[in-house]
């Protein structure tokens, strides 16, 4: 069984999937610790089937939407307030905080 680190799996995903498709199993490592196994699907005849939607399922256009929210403030005021909060938050230590 082959092992592959997450970064390598992300960089060369198609290549690794070709190996799995060819029958190989891969153990995925996170900092040299195995966290998952990628194995080919067994061809036992059991497969996933896609069923058509039920006739009783509502059409998307017929699903009622909730009424729009009534805001006390202008949307632009909310946006400016949120941006100001993010600019002066303790997380943004490197940024200068202008009040």
Residue 25 placed within a domain: yes
Residues of the chain above pLDDT 90, percent:
38
Residue 88 placed within a domain: no
Q: What is the pLDDT of residue 57?
A: 72
Q: How many domains does the chain have?
A: 1
Check if the beta carbon of residue 38 is closer than 8 Å to that of residue 25. Answer: yes
Q: What is the pLDDT of residue 4?
A: 95
Q: Provide the Cα torsion 48, 52, 57, 62; round to 10°.
A: 120
Entry pTM: 0.44
Residue 62 placed within a domain: no
Quick one: pLDDT band at residue 91, thresholds 50, 70, 90? low
Residue 99 pLDDT > 50, yes or no?
no
Residue 46 placed within a domain: no
Residue 35 pLDDT > 50, yes or no?
yes
Residue 29 placed within a domain: yes
Q: How far apart are CA 98 and CA 85, in angstroms?
A: 11
Residue 63 pLDDT > 80, yes or no?
no
Residue 12 placed within a domain: yes
Q: How many helices (H) and strands (E) does the chain have?
A: 3, 3
Mean pLDDT of the chain: 82
Residue 30 placed within a domain: yes
Domain carrying residue 8: 2-38
Residue 32 placed within a domain: yes
Residue 95 pLDDT > 60, yes or no?
no
């Amino acid at each position: 069984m082959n092992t592959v680190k997450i970064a390598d799996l992300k960089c060369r995903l198609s290549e690794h999937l070709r190996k799995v498709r060819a029958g190989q199993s891969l153990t995925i490592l996170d900092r040299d610790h195995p966290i998952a196994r990628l194995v080919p699907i067994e061809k036992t005849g059991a497969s996933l089937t896609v069923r058509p939607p039920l006739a009783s399922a509502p059409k998307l256009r017929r699903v009622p939407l909730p009424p729009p929210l009534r805001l006390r403030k202008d949307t632009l005021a909310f946006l400016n307030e949120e941006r100001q909060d993010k600019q002066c938050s303790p997380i943004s230590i490197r940024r200068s905080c202008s009040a």
